[in-house]
Amino acid sequence: MRNWTVAAVCVCASLLSGCVTRIGDFTVLSTKNMDFNNKEGFVTQVGRRVSGSDTRHYVLILPVTGSADVKNAADEAIQRVPGAVGLSNVVLYRTGLWLILYNYGGYRVEGDPVYPKNALPTAPRR
């Protein structure tokens, strides 16, 4: 009887586990138009990490929501800070959770916001 209990606990733990995989790192990531001819340049607010995510949900094997997209996750992270046009020191993660009846998978983007110096007068000077 004890062997069945241990086996049942192991099976339940494996079915209820989620997974986060680090896919990659980027120096700068942006889905917005950045004018690199801007003589003023850009400033990064180091230490203020923002994140955004995009997920796709499944019931059984049927998708319930739209597809997960890295662009949507990056847009969400950039839009969390008014005036930001990109992210620096970016880390991209792949997330997922697999259960018997419900599953989800998606992307999470984390980074420091990047501002154009001339467009945001309150941006920190470096």
Q: Tell me what pLDDT residue 33 has.
A: 82
32 pLDDT band, cuts 50/70/90, is confident
Q: Indicate whether 8 belongs to any domain.
A: no
Q: Indicate whether 105 belongs to any domain.
A: yes
Q: Is 12 helix (H, G, I), strand (E, B) or coil?
A: helix
Tell me the CA distances in angstroms from 37 to 45, 73, 84, one per residue in order.
Answer: 21, 27, 17
pLDDT in tens, 99-123: 888 899 999 999 999 988 876 545 4
What is the percent of the chain with per-residue pLDDT over 90, rounded to a whole number? Answer: 43
Q: Tell me what pLDDT residue 19 has.
A: 85
pLDDT in tens, 43-78: 887 878 999 999 999 998 888 988 899 999 999 999
Q: How far apart are CA 44 and CA 125, in angstroms?
A: 9
Q: Indicate whether 2 belongs to any domain.
A: no
What residues make up the domain containing 27? Answer: 18-116
Q: Indicate whether 43 belongs to any domain.
A: yes
Q: Indicate whether 97 belongs to any domain.
A: yes
Q: Indicate whether 99 belongs to any domain.
A: yes
What global pTM score does this model have?
A: 0.76
Q: Indicate whether 28 belongs to any domain.
A: yes
* Average pLDDT estimate for 34-46: 78
Q: What value does the mean pLDDT of the chain take?
A: 83
The total domain count for the chain is 1
How many other C-beta atoms lie within 10 A of the C-beta of residue 29?
20
Q: Tell me what pLDDT residue 14 has.
A: 59
Q: Indicate whether 123 belongs to any domain.
A: no
